[in-house]
Amino acid sequence: MELAKSKLARAKYVLEELERRYPTTPVPLDHTNEFTLLVAVLLSAQCTDVRVNKTTPALFKKANTAKKMVKLTVDEINEIVRPCGLAPRKAKAIWDLSHILIEKHGGEVPEDMEALEKLPGVGHKTASVVMSQAFGHPAFPVDTHIHRLAQLWKLTDGKSVKQTEKDLKRLFPKETWNKLHLQIIFYGREHCQAKTCKGIVCEMCRTMFPDRKRPVNYNKS
């Protein structure tokens, strides 16, 4: 019952259990440099990492830097990234941000959250992923898995993704953020899927809330 009653105890359990399960956390999106990671994360919006990783080799063979990307047309980019969904918008964003990187950042991806968030198609989550996975800066990107699990585990009230990020940053040491956000994603994908667990099936949910009998409703946005 201690875990069910204490948020701090649950946070400690989550940290220790996920470290036991996932001692190493390879970056899910294949990339070779900061630019290819940025593009891959942009493409992953409303698309699986598996699909992105199947799509990007053809794109990065033609253009793995901003300077090479602007030599392609938006239509050429669109044709390649079509399997990722929302292709016309994503293709235009990739082409536009490549121009901005050349004009304002010497063709390089800026190591700066504010500058990243100003790029077309790059929101706070994408910028956070790049800052953490490309540059190693502490960040806690919150995707749908993290937003959902944080609510199931009562680590946040889930009123918004922004609030979930704030709550998790308060609960966990800064030096764990970059690894932990991936560990939660891995666990959500493998063991605590939205359609199957709902807070009452997977081992971690049952351990933290042994008396929970009914599926948990959570805020998706």
Q: What pLDDT does 1 receive? A: 52
Q: What parts of the chain have a pLDDT lower than 70?
A: 1
> The domain 2-25+140-208 is classified under which CATH number: 3.30.470.20, 1.10.287.1400, 1.10.1670.10, 2.60.40.10?
1.10.1670.10
- pLDDT digits over 156-197, tens only? 998 999 999 999 999 999 999 999 999 999 999 999 999 999
- The pTM assigned to this predicted structure is 0.93
> The domain 34-134 is classified under which CATH number: 3.30.70.3400, 1.10.340.30, 1.10.260.40, 3.40.50.1000?
1.10.340.30
Q: What span, in angstroms and rounded, lies between the C-alpha atoms of 57 and 60? A: 5
Q: What pLDDT does 213 receive? A: 93
Nearest residue to 155 via CA among 144, 169, 143: 169
Secondary-structure breakdown of the chain: helix, strand, coil percentages, each rounded to the nearest 5: 60, 0, 40
> In terms of C-beta density within 10 A (0-12 exposed, 13-18 middle, 19 or more buried), how is residue 57 classed?
exposed
Q: Domain locations in the chain? A: 2-25+140-208, 34-134
Q: What span, in angstroms and rounded, lies between the C-alpha atoms of 119 and 42? A: 11
Q: What pLDDT does 74 receive? A: 98
Question: Which sequence positions are flagged as catalytic?
Answer: 125, 143
Nearest residue to 99 via CA among 76, 79, 73, 136: 73
Assess contact for 185 and 27: CB atoms under 8 A. no
